[in-house]
Amino acid sequence: MTRWKKMTLTGWGRSHVASVEAARPERPRDLDEAMADTASGTLIAHGAGRAYGDSALNTNGRVVLTERLDRVLGFDAATGLVICEPGVTFANLMEIFLPRGFMPAASPGTSFATVGGALAADVHGKNHDRHGGFGDHVEWFDLLLADGTTRRVDAQNDAELFAATIGGMGLTGIVRAVAFRLLPNASPWVRVKERRIRDLDEYIEAFATIRDRSTFSVGWIDAVATGAALGRGILETAEFEAHDTLPKPRNPHRVPFDFPGFALNHFTVKAFNAQHYRRVPQTGRERRKSFAEFLYPLDALHGWNRIYGKRGFYQFQCVLPDAGARAGLRRLLEAISEAGNPSFLAVLKTLGRSGRGHLSFPMRGFTLALDFPRINGADGLLRRLEAITLDHQGRIYLAKDSLLTREGFRAMYPLLPRFERVLAKVDPASRLMSDQARRLGLKGAP
Amino acid sequence: MSDTSPSEKPLNETWLILGASSAIARAFARAASAEADILLAGRDRTDMEATAADLRARSGRRAGVVAFDATDYASHAATVAQAKAFAGDGLLNIFLAFGTMPSQGEIDADPALIAKVIEANYTGAAHILHVAAPVLEARRAGRVVVLTSVAGDRGRLKNYVYGSAKAGLNAYLQGLRARLFRAGCTVTTVKPGPVDTAMSYGLNDMPMMAAPETVAAASLKAAKKGAETLYTPGIWLIIMTIIRLIPERIFKKLNI
């Protein structure tokens, strides 16, 4: 019998709070029991809780915590194929496989995310142009469906269910194992080049050259800079570097309490951003960094979401196709600086191609990601950013989303009708459900 | 049999994990597999195969699975024989992690559960250890680590059937320790406080829940030292010392 525990869960942004009943299976059969035990009512898988909004929340419903399903079920060094339970994290993968020269081909910006979450959100990393997204490397997965059966799904035997599950935000079923290819010839070290970028135009041009040349690239933007400095920032590119030592394990710090609301204001963020920009000399700089430090800069600060205080924050991430990116990014950055909402983590990257899922976020273009403290006016700002994204044929990333409208969602995801046809088939009673799915009007939500 | 002493040529080591599907057992197996082969024993073969695969992928060492049912005493000899074969010429260590803990309320409603609690927590454990002991004695080396509970230190209103089974096991282990000491083997009694596992999940919100990894790491360390008794986390040594010192005429009035 499954034991359900009443608890309160939030997304990583802590903007949404949900009362749920949660099961925490440790063995495969516990997972079957949890599904069977929810013959009526709804549930959704919840991994590391790193989706920012309400993707893995189910208010007054149930969730299945996958953290204890954390085993590596197989690895073939000849092909790089690894099979994992859904609760295996990227930190686990890095720890086990990087010393052997293998790494996940696509890794999100935190190593605490799980493989199950990575599949559900079809996550991407700082190397999307080169290596694609997480879903591009998936061979098959075992999916526990609402009717209690488990199906091994690959791109051939059920192409539509495969495409609906990659990026499908956990709404097709609960993934109990994922088989995906790791990349060989990885090193625990990278050589990182950093240089200052004066403004948005220089950013667009720089990315146009480096996106096909560099393995990794990421731009940080000072989102409070205005006028001629609009879009200024630091561009980082990186390549693997062989080195005969292993990096020292990082010594993480923990944010011990919720910062007071006034800690992050326009002035502190402006000062921080300006200092951050000048940190890299005008002539640029180059140094060796551990791969983990480069990929997951914030993982050394556990609980960094508390910096935004009790009210939490929103994350916004959109992608704009190459053609309209310059004009669109300008409008987005202008809207942000006009709103005066202090954002100090703005990241610009390029994405190389569309994902394999019906609701995969990536498309060829530029992606901008920012955090906003949840202060007065933040909701309105997000609505404006949604409108600008739509104007430029872009889309918003569901793993980061908190406030996307139903109309916006339908316009941004043209394969939605196909996704919904699969849902009608595999989950006709809409038992797999999240607060986000309800908000977006999926699964017949009123 | 080789008569090379371990100090000259380190023997290969195997840990037999009895009750391998628990969270603490999984964490212990992961920690131990850095330096030893692992044989997982339990009833849920599907789950154990997954853990064995995980251990092989992580450490590159041998990890196997063997059927074991604590209350099917007749099967214990076969389990031990398989463990002996798996260990080959190497050392055989034992980590015993099985047990069952119905709430006192469930037991009060159905006293038939008492026999099951005693069988799973005491008789099954004592029996398999008794069957395995000659193997360790013959090799004149090896470590036994058994998870009991702080609940065995004093009978409490809220948990005294489970507690009495663990208390019995504690006494058994004292005797086994003396017996195996004569053969150069160590027996470590591990008394964890509440641990955040499927057994305790959702029962109550104890603020001092230890992670399975904490208990596992401490148990392995204690085993390597050959420690007799381990309270983990360490605070439980202090707590249980105080609890043991409370006079019975006062203790009986306490609602714990």
Query: How is A232-287 classified by DSSP, letter by letter?
Result: -EEEEEEEE---SSPPPPP--EE--SPPPGGGS-HHHHHHHHHHHHHTS-TT-EEE
pLDDT single digits (tens) B95-144: 999 998 888 889 999 999 999 999 999 999 999 999 999 999 999 999 99
User: Residue B45: what pLDDT?
Assistant: 96
Asked if A71's CB is within 8 angstroms of B50's CB, the reply is yes
Cβ proximity of B51 and B38 under 8 Å: no
- Using CA coordinates, name the residue in chain A closest to B198: A26
ipTM, interface predicted TM-score of the complex: 0.91
Query: How far is residue A51's CA from residue A38's CA, in Å, rounded to a whole number?
Result: 24
Mean pLDDT within B2-20? 74
Give ranges for CATH 3.30.465.10 in chain A.
72-185
User: Residue B4: what pLDDT?
Assistant: 45
We find that the CATH architecture of domain A189-403 is 3-Layer(aba) Sandwich (3.40)
Q: Which residues of chain A neighbour B22 with C-beta distances below 8 Å?
A: 26
The sheet that has A5-10: what strands, in order across it? Answer: A5-10, A17-23, A62-65, A43-46
Residue A123, CA distances (Å) to A9, A132, A230, B1, B204 in order:
22, 9, 28, 55, 36
Which residues have a Cβ under 8 Å from the Cβ of A308 and sit 6 or more positions away? A13, A14, A259, A264, A371, A373, A374
Q: How far is A70 from chain B (nearest CA, A)?
A: 9
Query: How far is residue B197's CA from residue A429's CA, in Å, rounded to a whole number?
Result: 32
Residues of B with CB under 8 A from a CB of A: 21-23, 26, 44, 46-47, 50-51, 53-54, 57-58, 197-198, 201-203
pLDDT single digits (tens) B143-182: 999 999 999 999 999 889 999 999 999 999 999 999 999 9
Q: Which residues of chain A neighbour B51 with C-beta distances below 8 Å?
A: 71
Mean pLDDT within A152-174? 98
Q: How far is B17 from chain A (nearest CA, A)?
A: 16
Cβ proximity of B139 and B92 under 8 Å: yes
Query: How far is residue A161's CA from residue A175's CA, in Å, rounded to a whole number?
Result: 12
User: Residue B1: what pLDDT?
Assistant: 43
Q: CA angle A132-A406-A126, nearest 5°?
A: 20
Asked if A5's CB is within 8 angstroms of B201's CB, the reply is yes
Is A311's pLDDT higher than 70? yes
CATH of A72-185, one of 1.10.510.10, 3.30.465.10, 3.90.1520.10, 3.40.50.11710: 3.30.465.10
Asked if B202's CB is within 8 angstroms of A5's CB, the reply is yes
Give ranges for CATH 3.40.462.10 in chain A.
189-403
User: Residue A307: what pLDDT?
Assistant: 82
Tokens for B76, please give them: 């214990």
Mean pLDDT within A134-138? 98
Q: CA angle A25-A292-A186, nearest 5°?
A: 100
Classify the C-alpha dihedral A303-A305-A311-A314 as positive or negative.
negative
Q: Which residues of chain B neighbour A68 with C-beta distances below 8 Å?
A: 23, 198
Surface-to-core class of residue A8, CB atoms within 10 Å of its CB (0-12 exposed, 13-18 middle, 19+ buried): exposed
Is B204's pLDDT higher than 80? no
Cβ-based contacts under 8 A for chains A and B: 47
Mean pLDDT within A354-381? 94
Q: Which positions of B are catalytic?
A: 162
pLDDT single digits (tens) B205-255: 666 899 999 999 999 999 999 999 999 999 999 999 999 999 999 999 988
Closest by Cα among A375, A314, A259, A269 to A14: A314
Is B6's pLDDT higher than 60? no
Mean pLDDT within A183-203? 94
Q: From its phi and psi, is residue A169 left (phi > 0), alpha (psi between -120 and 50) or beta?
A: left
User: Residue B10: what pLDDT?
Assistant: 67
We find that the CATH architecture of domain B13-251 is 3-Layer(aba) Sandwich (3.40)
Smallest Cβ–Cβ distance between A72 and the set B21, B22, B53 belongs to B53
Asked if B202's CB is within 8 angstroms of A4's CB, the reply is yes
pLDDT single digits (tens) A236-284: 999 999 888 888 887 778 888 888 777 777 777 777 778 778 888 888 9
Asked if B47's CB is within 8 angstroms of A75's CB, the reply is no
Is A151's pLDDT higher than 70? yes
